[in-house]
Structure 1
Amino acid sequence: MSAYDELMAFARETEALKMISMRLGWDQETMMPRGAAEQRGEEMAAIESILHARRSDPRVGDWLASAAPEDAVGQAQLREIRRDYDRATKVPADLAKALARLTSLAQGIWAEARANEDVAAFLPTLEEVVRLRREEAAALSAGGDAYDALVQDYEPGSSGGEIAAIFDAMRPRLVDLRAAILDKPVPAGLTGTFDPALQMAVSDALARAFGYDFTRGRIDTAVHPFSSGSGADVRITTRTNPLDPFNCFYSTIHEVGHGSYEQAIDPAFALTPLGQGVSMGVHESQSRIYENQLGRSRAFTGWMYDQVQSAFGDLGLDGPDAFYAAANRVQNGYIRTEADEVQYNLHIMLRFDLERAMVSGDLPVKDLEAAWNDRFAADFGYAVDKPSNGMLQDVHWSVGLFGYFPTYALGNVYAGCLHEALRAAVPDLDAQLAAGDTSGATGWLKENLQRHGGLYTPRDVIARASGAAPSEGPLLNYLESKFGALYGL
């Protein structure tokens, strides 16, 4: 075997072990009994110890030095393996293991604190998570910016400064659009109660409409919807609320976007570093374009109205136009995952600034709740009423995902670029969506982006698909056009 062949055989085993670790995480969120949390922490730490040892194995360095692939795929495989190897060799094994153990336990501590509205019960754990992640960032950055080092885990090639510049460019137009919309009457919403079992049945139909392959995937419920796995085994989750079925429907479509990306990757890349989405920003571009530009379009909501009305009967709305308006209501709210398209990115900007300050040491964890509440009041104009609507609403910090939040907004930016190109490539898209047929859109996304997996870098894959370097302009133009028409601006 050549050095490249030996390296790839080793990498495939590492990827298989990583999938097992992801399955443990999925089980923890969906099926694991509450009393198993401490044991699961030890299991996750043990697997992370094995993964870290493999990623930092000196043989990987030797193989990388000797491997000479002749094609672009092989070179991309080396790029990804080298990035993981460089990272793993900088992070001490004991630190990687401690982080895996702590973040597994922290998830349950956060969930209980959130249920009890008890910030104080969570702060000691969060302080320890932040301490370990700052230690990890220091090892990775070698004297550089600690937050930039953490961002590389989720959006390789980006930096805190570049992200801040994009956000600074987006904020004025978003704030102006929000102000104009909130000056208008709020459209009527759905009324009544909606059986969770029927919500899940509609969710199943929506997932199938967007091409989710149930022979290689499944849908379960979780407190915080998420996607896990790749290739032949993809798991997504959603959640139900008897008073708000849109929460379930659009969580499902969102996670189907993630899951379908993983299912569409070239099977030749399975269990290799290229056999997964290239970044969380690109991943989020798929979930957001499925959820918003497609799923909340006037064309698709017209078809969706018939499905929902068939399941639940009277919705308290006067036809499909009112249903479309209800699915796109812009109104005050606390929860990021329930935020409308106009305000969603403002929620991300808040979290980005706070976590950047925590990582730098400028914001002590003990002051996080006050900082969150002050910033929220300044940005949104009203006060946080309880911790589960404030700093305890998201799971991300409990599991150490510092540097992850900005990828949600980057995903929206990327989705804006892709949507503009998709509209040009599929001129009869609305007619297809009005019939519940998403295949023109999902097929275009699969061919131009999803099948490539990790072959291209994040910005490169977006540029190749959309025909231009990513920028915030297409997203902002789309939002102003859509909501300007919807609200008569």
Structure 2
Amino acid sequence: MAHERETQALDRVAGRLSWDQETMMPRGAVEQRAEEMGALQAMMHARKTDPQVGEWLAEARAPDAVGAAQLRLIAHRYARLTRVPADLTRALATLTSRSQAQWALARAEDDFVAFAPTLDEVVRLKREEGAALADGGDHYDALIDDYEPGMGAAELAAMFDEMRPGLVELRLTALEEVERAPVSGQFAPEVQVALARELAERFGYDLSRGRIDMAVHPFSSGSGDDVRITTRVSETDPFNCLYSTIHEVGHACYEQGVDPAYHMTPVGQGVSMGVHESQSRIYENQLGRSRAFCHFLYGRMRDAFGDIGVTDEEAFYATVNRMHRGYIRTEADEVQYNLHIMLRFELERALIAGDLQVADLETAWNDRFKADFGYDVDRASNGVLQDVHWSVGLFGYFPTYSLGNVYAGCLHAALRADVPDLDDHLAKGDPAPATAWLRDKVQRHGGLYEPREVIARACGQAPSAEPLMAYLTEKFSGLYTG
């Protein structure tokens, strides 16, 4: 565990370098940072695959449940990483650090062709990594395991196939109506950021152990006593800033909420990206976009910005949850968001399998988007270049977003049963009863339990898509046909 604590410290340093690259690093430092990240990743890979770790694991006995969880996580990581050559790990770290900057430039210039050769190399290396990790099994399943241990593509595909008809029906029903207008007015960036900071603290984000910065793509970084988030500002759409912030606060509060006794150990962080996403999505959607909280936020928006072009609290609730045509995943409503994820899941699964080549990816994306959403992608930054994930090698990550929505649906149903007066608190801008429940039921455990066990223990039953679909149907049917 002493060896592990130092390894965890190096992981935190690598995370801070990645945070810096997306927030403050000068553009001209890209090549140097790529070399730095490659060297650091090689060092960490050597520590994590040191034969001494294997010898310790063979002899170690757990004194308690926490010790058993620590050994389980270290053994799982050791078994995976010893299958991946060190030079591949270093090559991936170096390439993806450089690729991230190239993606940002290509996105700004709407030029997928310029980025395609670099992405092709990322995909090639991820295929190699998947093959090494799979040990004869499915390569994409092996990559998913990095983000959601125990979950496979076939199970995810079955879940998504079950959800898709209901999502499509809700989408078509809503879009048959007249599209509701967004808010309007003057939304000064500094006022947005000030309000976002207030909301972050209302949802329990401890700014003495965190900070809020700006980035092209909002994200959360870190764990324990240094957990940072980013947001972004659109002068015409304040919800982009406010709800991105609440979303990332959900991630950050998970990391800040882990039992301090677990800090700097494998158990001392979120157990999986699916469970992590359940926290960000329930903070953002079931709490932040609830009718009760929207009624509170309407008053704060008017205090901050004056007239926002919305007549009353109920109209504001409808505006916050309006379903509309659009291209961007992070700006999608709760229904269409999952359709965005399903599109990415199917494309990246095909990429790793070799059934789809990077040269054909933009066309495949545009064709699938047209089939799922009914209109054409207008430019690459609204399509295949909109997300950072593939540029940094995060294959297998996307499906955990919708899995997180499923988990959030389960948690929300259980939360409502345990805290029946929740809306009274939310209407006063006080999510504390909900966030305290989530901290107790989910966050404090960190990696103590397996992902699905965390949700099952919190909810009293195995996770399924039914609570999410029931919630979405009730909410959006009420908004558009009620």
Q: How many Å apart are 1:306 and its aligned residue?
A: 1.1
Q: Identify which of 400, 412, 417 aligns with 1:419.
A: 412
Q: Secondary structure at the match of 1:322?
A: helix
Q: Does 1:315 align with 2:308?
A: yes
Q: How many Å apart are 1:42 and its aligned residue?
A: 0.5
Counterpart of 1:155 in structure 2 is: 148
Q: Does 1:438 align with 2:431?
A: yes
Q: Distance in 1 between matches of 2:30 and 2:187?
A: 32
Q: Distance in 1 between matches of 2:447 and 2:298?
A: 37
TM-score by length of 1: 0.98
Q: Secondary structure at the match of 1:212?
A: coil
Counterpart of 1:344 in structure 2 is: 337
Tell me if structure 1 keeps the 8 A contact 2:274–2:404: yes
Counterpart of 1:103 in structure 2 is: 96
Tell me if structure 2 keeps the 8 A contact 1:188–1:322: no
Q: Does 1:73 align with 2:59?
A: no
Counterpart of 1:177 in structure 2 is: 170
Tell me if structure 2 keeps the 8 A contact 1:219–1:235: yes
Unaligned runs of 5+ in 2: none
Tell me if structure 1 keeps the 8 A contact 2:186–2:305: no
1:328-360 CA-to-partner distances (Å, cap 9, x unmatched) read: 000110000000001000000000000000000
Q: How many Å apart are 1:187 and its aligned residue?
A: 2.4
Q: Distance in 2 between matches of 1:118 and 1:210?
A: 39
Counterpart of 2:234 in structure 1 is: 241
Counterpart of 1:211 in structure 2 is: 204
Q: Identify which of 445, 454, 469 aligns with 2:462.
A: 469
Q: Which moved more, 1:227-236 or 1:180-189?
A: 180-189
Q: Secondary structure at the match of 1:331?
A: coil
Q: Secondary structure at the match of 2:420?
A: coil
1:142-172 CA-to-partner distances (Å, cap 9, x unmatched) read: 1210000000000000000010010000001
Q: Does 1:92 align with 2:85?
A: yes
TM-score by length of 2: 0.99
Counterpart of 1:403 in structure 2 is: 396
Counterpart of 1:250 in structure 2 is: 243
1:363-390 CA-to-partner distances (Å, cap 9, x unmatched) read: 0110000000000000000000000000
Counterpart of 1:40 in structure 2 is: 33
Structure-to-structure mapping, 1:245-394, within 5 angstroms: 245-394=238-387
Q: Secondary structure at the match of 1:220?
A: strand
Q: How many Å apart are 1:192 and its aligned residue?
A: 2.3
Tell me if structure 2 keeps the 8 A contact 1:163–1:406: yes
Q: Secondary structure at the match of 1:440?
A: helix
Q: Secondary structure at the match of 1:242?
A: coil
Q: Distance in 2 between matches of 1:90 and 1:195?
A: 51
Q: Does 1:15 align with 2:5?
A: no
- The alignment covers a number of residue pairs equal to 482
Which residue identity lines up with residue 319 of structure 2 in the other structure?
Answer: A
Query: Which aligned runs of 4 or more in structure 1 are off by greater than 3 angstroms?
Result: none
Q: Distance in 1 between matches of 2:210 and 2:333?
A: 28
Q: Distance in 2 between matches of 1:184 and 1:474?
A: 26
Counterpart of 1:197 in structure 2 is: 190
Tell me if structure 2 keeps the 8 A contact 1:123–1:365: yes
Q: Distance in 2 between matches of 1:411 and 1:193?
A: 34
1:17-38 CA-to-partner distances (Å, cap 9, x unmatched) read: 0000000000000000000000
Tell me if structure 1 keeps the 8 A contact 2:298–2:313: yes
Unaligned runs of 5+ in 1: 1-7
1:386-408 CA-to-partner distances (Å, cap 9, x unmatched) read: 00000000000000000000000
Which residue identity lines up with residue 436 of structure 1 in the other structure?
Answer: G
Tell me if structure 1 keeps the 8 A contact 2:140–2:396: yes
Tell me if structure 2 keeps the 8 A contact 1:188–1:317: no
Q: Which moved more, 1:319-328 or 1:386-395?
A: 319-328
Q: How many Å apart are 1:180 and its aligned residue?
A: 1.0
Tell me if structure 2 keeps the 8 A contact 1:171–1:346: yes
Q: Secondary structure at the match of 2:453?
A: helix
Q: How many Å apart are 1:267 and its aligned residue?
A: 0.2
Counterpart of 2:50 in structure 1 is: 57
Q: Distance in 2 between matches of 1:24 and 1:129?
A: 20
1:224-269 CA-to-partner distances (Å, cap 9, x unmatched) read: 0000000100000000000000000000000000000000000000
Q: Secondary structure at the match of 1:229?
A: strand
Q: Secondary structure at the match of 2:301?
A: helix
Q: How many Å apart are 1:488 and its aligned residue?
A: 2.0
1:31-81 CA-to-partner distances (Å, cap 9, x unmatched) read: 000000000000100110110000000010010011111211000000000
Q: Which moved more, 1:158-167 or 1:186-195?
A: 186-195
Tell me if structure 2 keeps the 8 A contact 1:334–1:389: yes
Q: Distance in 2 between matches of 1:77 and 1:431?
A: 40
Q: Distance in 1 between matches of 2:46 and 2:114?
A: 34
Which residue identity lines up with residue 98 of structure 2 in the other structure?
Answer: L
Q: Does 1:142 align with 2:126?
A: no
Tell me if structure 1 keeps the 8 A contact 2:410–2:467: yes
Q: How many Å apart are 1:430 and its aligned residue?
A: 0.2
Q: Secondary structure at the match of 1:215?
A: helix
Q: Secondary structure at the match of 2:92?
A: helix
Q: Secondary structure at the match of 1:371?
A: helix
Counterpart of 1:5 in structure 2 is: none
1:205-237 CA-to-partner distances (Å, cap 9, x unmatched) read: 100110100111110010000000001000000
1:285-314 CA-to-partner distances (Å, cap 9, x unmatched) read: 000000000000010011111111111000
Tell me if structure 1 keeps the 8 A contact 2:185–2:305: no
Q: Does 1:166 align with 2:171?
A: no
1:423-442 CA-to-partner distances (Å, cap 9, x unmatched) read: 00000000000011111000
Q: How many Å apart are 1:87 and its aligned residue?
A: 1.0
Counterpart of 2:113 in structure 1 is: 120
1:149-206 CA-to-partner distances (Å, cap 9, x unmatched) read: 0000000000000100100000011111111111122223201231111000010110
Counterpart of 2:448 in structure 1 is: 455
Q: Secondary structure at the match of 2:218?
A: coil
Q: Distance in 2 between matches of 1:307 and 1:66?
A: 58
Q: Does 1:30 align with 2:23?
A: yes
Q: Distance in 2 between matches of 1:74 and 1:358?
A: 39
* Sequence identity percentage: 66
